[in-house]
């Protein structure tokens, strides 16, 4: 796969953004407030924003949600974590969550490769 | 509760250690290897050991395991995280895991108070 | 997507029905009894059938099962619930289940759009 | 158990209120916003508040959280649902969530008995 | 703990039986049918009943339900499995479910000790 | 589908093997040890290897992981279990895990058909 080829991450980003937009357009106050709260969760607080991305990544992995894993891997890569650091975070999720996590580890590793090819993740 | 009173954390530590000992005495190779792997998970790697304790804490919280929360809160406190930082980590678990996490947040906050009283956590 | 185009819901309905038929043809007494019990769960009792469809929808959403969400959204739409009511039910699932539910909310919202286009759901 | 005796529900209410108060006193903006959002979830919207309590009850049951079950059983009883209706809601959770839910059904049924004795639930 | 002392398993058995009786007395058809189906699940079929008890044990362990673990450990012990065999089954649950299962492994091991002392499990 | 046609199982096997290889090539000690431990879990111990494959199958089913279900169905078929026995094992998972397991039962049954067509499973 060349860098210029479309990849599943690009499609995911586009679909995710459009679908989130549609949800906000439902104009449900509780849902809109949840989305706002969710965005604010990963900003600087007592812990720096980047650490909280790692926490979101591991939480997503043990709860076995591929879309959430992809989102947090990308945000964590943008925040400057190296591949080795992200793999080390995923290893914690594997120990805590067990072998049932392995299919999601395979997915996450493929995402890491795409992020590397794109240049989003330093390799 | 005075500092010198027995507390539920002291009892948990003792019970946990004894029960883990009994499991190791079962002499099941796979289980012993898992326990060894588990211990090694939270040591320095590409990420520092203390960050991995935070990851273990958040994984335990979204998976809603009070014993695991208590263990990682104490280890993270010993690793030098402040109460504000630990609460910030727990806030990520709350957003990811939802209101079903709240009873475990109540438990975690009580544990933080005990750790403060004991002096294990700087307040 | 026009109303006459095939959509993923039509394919899901057909696949689901065929696959359920095959499971019943396995002729396993316990499984057949479970399927029968499952069907009867969503009929009038102390609570009306339509309320129980909403309960099934929210249970399916917090347990994060897209196929189950699609099934219950359609049944609830047929039972007369409006889009606003179904979105309000989903908002409860979001609060209880947390941000890990969001990818399933995106899926559910797309299903609602298909049901509207088909005329199954009043818009 | 006589009506005037202390019961586990009374203790739970008191502990829950105190522990929630302590969490709010942590003064973490994200957590305070989540608690506020959670409270607002169970108010009238496209669906009436009482229906949303039932949804919260079933979500809590399939996610197997006894504290959450107790809270929503009480709120639903106060909202006017009868014992038969609450049991019917719990039966949906049992079918969706399976036999692993049974211990929580035993807990919920005991809570229903306490609510009846107290007069919170019409019998 | 001497063999003649009351133990937590005896209390659990009594509480469980009484609470199940109360649930059946609610006279909810769906719930009664579920309980009947549940009982029949662990009887001879293509697989012998005892193998299905082991399956129930491992399912209960990865889903992290102590009451369910205790029930299936006892049934499996009565069906003739040795302590070594039950521990080997639990080791599969540990690998699949991860370190979050460990507190339940501690609980299960304590139950095994009680079953040995009682003579329910051959040691 | 003829026996010689490519099927989704063949693709899954190939993708799984390649992706696991890539994970091992990450050269993360903890992850490599976990993979090794996972492989050793399903070997003869106090219980025979084939029984442990059944346990892995049921654990995977109640935890609702299709990739894990496919893997264990194939291993259990190779170990000599008949279709009737595997369906009986899945019926335990259905009772324990509830109707939320049904989509995974549909998936598992389709996999059984492919394994039969391939001759991996005796029919």
Please check whether residue A107 is in contact with residue A65, taking contact to mean a CB–CB distance below 8 angstroms: no
Helices of type H across D5-98: 8-25, 29-41, 49-62, 66-78, 83-97
Give the whole-angstrom CA distance, residue C71 versus residue E102. 36
Whether the predicted pLDDT of B9 surpasses 50: yes
- Using a CB–CB cutoff of 8 Å, tell me whether F98 touches chain E: no
Range of the domain at C99: 3-118
Side-chain half-sphere of D56: how many Cα atoms within 13 Å?
A: 30
Only one residue has tokens 């099927």, namely F7
Contacts of E89 in chain F (CB under 8 A): 47, 52, 55
Mean pLDDT of C8-18: 96
Instruction: Give the per-residue pLDDT at F5.
Output: 47
Mean pLDDT of A5-13: 85
Residue D17 to chain E, least CA–CA distance (Å):
27
pLDDT tier, F6 (very low <50, low <70, confident <90, very high otherwise): low
Domain count, chain B: 1
pLDDT tier, B57 (very low <50, low <70, confident <90, very high otherwise): very high
**Residue D123 belongs to a domain:** no
Mean pLDDT of F90-104: 98
Instruction: Give the per-residue pLDDT at F92.
Output: 98
Q: Is the four-CA dihedral F58, F64, F65, F66 of positive or negative sign?
A: positive
Using the CB atoms, write b or e for E78-114: b if 16+ within 10 Å. ebebebebbbbbbbbbbbbbbbbbbbbbbbbbbbbbb
Give the whole-angstrom CA distance, residue E71 versus residue E68. 5
Instruction: Give the per-residue pLDDT at B6.
Output: 58
**Mutation site for B-interface testing, chosen from F33, F40, F41, F52 by largest number of B Cβ within 10 Å:** F33
Whether the predicted pLDDT of B5 surpasses 70: no
Q: Residue B42, Cβ neighbours under 10 Å: how many? A: 21
Of B101, A119, E40, D5, nearest to C98 by C-alpha is: B101
For chain B, give the mean pLDDT. Answer: 95
Give the whole-angstrom CA distance, residue F113 versus residue F83. 9
Q: How far is CA A41 from CA A47, A66, B112, E92, E95, in A?
A: 11, 19, 21, 36, 32
Instruction: Give the per-residue pLDDT at D7.
Output: 86
Rg (CA), chain F: 15
pLDDT tier, E2 (very low <50, low <70, confident <90, very high otherwise): very low
Residue A20 to chain B, least CA–CA distance (Å):
16
Q: pLDDT tens digits, residue range C57-77?
A: 999 999 999 999 999 999 999
**Residue D46 belongs to a domain:** yes
Q: pLDDT tens digits, residue range E47-93?
A: 999 999 999 999 999 999 999 999 999 999 999 999 999 999 999 99
pLDDT tier, A7 (very low <50, low <70, confident <90, very high otherwise): confident
Residue of C nearest to E42 (CA): C30
Instruction: Give the per-residue pLDDT at F116.
Output: 96
Residue of D nearest to B93 (CA): D31
**Residue A85 belongs to a domain:** yes
Q: Residue D17, Cβ neighbours under 10 Å: how many? A: 10
Q: pLDDT tens digits, residue range F17-61?
A: 999 999 999 999 999 999 999 999 999 999 999 999 999 999 999
Name the more confident of D117 and E123.
Answer: D117
Give the whole-angstrom CA distance, residue D64 versus residue D94. 11
Q: pLDDT tens digits, residue range A73-114?
A: 999 999 999 999 999 999 999 999 999 999 999 999 999 999
Name the more confident of F94 and B2.
Answer: F94
Give the whole-angstrom CA distance, residue A34 versus residue A56. 16
Whether the predicted pLDDT of C9 surpasses 60: yes
Rg (CA), chain B: 15
Using the CB atoms, write b or e for A66-105: b if 16+ within 10 Å. bbbbbbbbbbbbebebebebbbbbbbbbbbbbbbbbbbbb
**Residue E123 belongs to a domain:** no
**Phi, psi dihedrals of residue C7, rounded to the nearest 5°:** -135, 170
Token readout for C44 is: 């009038």
Token readout for E13 is: 């058995």
**Residue A92 belongs to a domain:** yes
In sequence order, which residues have a C-beta less than 8 Å from that of residue A113 and are 6 or more positions away? Answer: F22
Give the whole-angstrom CA distance, residue C111 versus residue A20. 14
Please check whether residue B67 is in contact with residue E103, taking contact to mean a CB–CB distance below 8 angstroms: yes
What percent of chain E has pLDDT above 90? Answer: 93
In sequence order, which residues have a C-beta less than 8 Å from that of residue E65 and are 6 or more positions away? Answer: D64, D100, D103
pLDDT tier, E7 (very low <50, low <70, confident <90, very high otherwise): confident
- How many beta-carbon pairs below 8 A join chains B and C? 28
For chain A, give the mean pLDDT. Answer: 95
Give the whole-angstrom CA distance, residue A26 versus residue A40. 21
Residue A33 to chain E, least CA–CA distance (Å):
32
DSSP character string of chain C:
--TTS--HHHHHHHHHHHHHHHHHHT--HHHHHHHHHHHHHTS-SSS-HHHHHHHHHHHHHHTT-HHHHHHHHHHHHHTT--HHHHHHHHHHHHHHH-GGGHHHHHHHHHHHHHHHHHTSS--
pLDDT tier, F122 (very low <50, low <70, confident <90, very high otherwise): confident
Write the CATH number for C99: 1.20.1290.10
Q: Residue A106, Cβ neighbours under 10 Å: how many? A: 18
Helix (H, G, I), strand (E, B) or coil at E81: coil
Instruction: Give the per-residue pLDDT at A2.
Output: 47
Give the whole-angstrom CA distance, residue D88 versus residue D65. 18
Please check whether residue A76 is in contact with residue A53, taking contact to mean a CB–CB distance below 8 angstroms: yes
| Burial (CB count within 10 angstroms: exposed 0-12, middle 13-18, buried 19+), residue B95 | buried
In sequence order, which residues have a C-beta less than 8 Å from that of residue B69 and are 6 or more positions away? Answer: B57, B60, B61, B104, B107, B108, B111
Closest in A20, A34, A60 to C94, CB measured: A34
| Burial (CB count within 10 angstroms: exposed 0-12, middle 13-18, buried 19+), residue E72 | buried
Q: pLDDT tens digits, residue range B59-97?
A: 999 999 999 999 999 999 999 999 999 999 999 999 999
Whether the predicted pLDDT of D4 surpasses 60: no
- Using a CB–CB cutoff of 8 Å, tell me whether C33 touches chain E: yes
End-to-end CA distance of chain A: 17
Q: pLDDT tens digits, residue range D74-115?
A: 999 999 999 999 999 999 999 999 999 999 999 999 999 999
Instruction: Give the per-residue pLDDT at A108.
Output: 98
**Residue A25 belongs to a domain:** yes
Give the whole-angstrom CA distance, residue A11 versus residue C103. 14
Helix (H) or strand (E) holding A22: helix A8-25
Give the whole-angstrom CA distance, residue D10 versus residue D114. 10
pLDDT tier, B122 (very low <50, low <70, confident <90, very high otherwise): confident
Closest in A34, A41, A45 to D37, CB measured: A34
**Residue B123 belongs to a domain:** no
Instruction: Give the per-residue pLDDT at A6.
Output: 57
Residue of F nearest to C72 (CA): F100
Token readout for F58 is: 């049921």
**Residue F123 belongs to a domain:** no
């Amino acid at each position: 796969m060349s860098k210029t080829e479309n990849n599943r991450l690009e499609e995911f980003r586009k679909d995710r953004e459009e679908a989130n937009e549609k949800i906000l357009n439902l104009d449900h106050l509780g849902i809109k407030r949840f989305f706002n709260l969710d965005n604010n969760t990963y900003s600087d607080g007592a812990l720096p924003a980047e650490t909280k991305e790692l926490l979101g990544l591991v939480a997503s992995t043990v709860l076995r949600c591929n879309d959430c894993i992809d989102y947090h891997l990308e945000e964590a890569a943008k925040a400057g974590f190296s591949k080795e650091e992200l793999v080390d975070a995923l290893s914690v999720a594997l120990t805590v969550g067990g072998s049932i996590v392995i299919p999601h580890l395979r997915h996450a590793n493929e995402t890491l490769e795409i992020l590397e090819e794109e240049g989003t993740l330093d390799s």
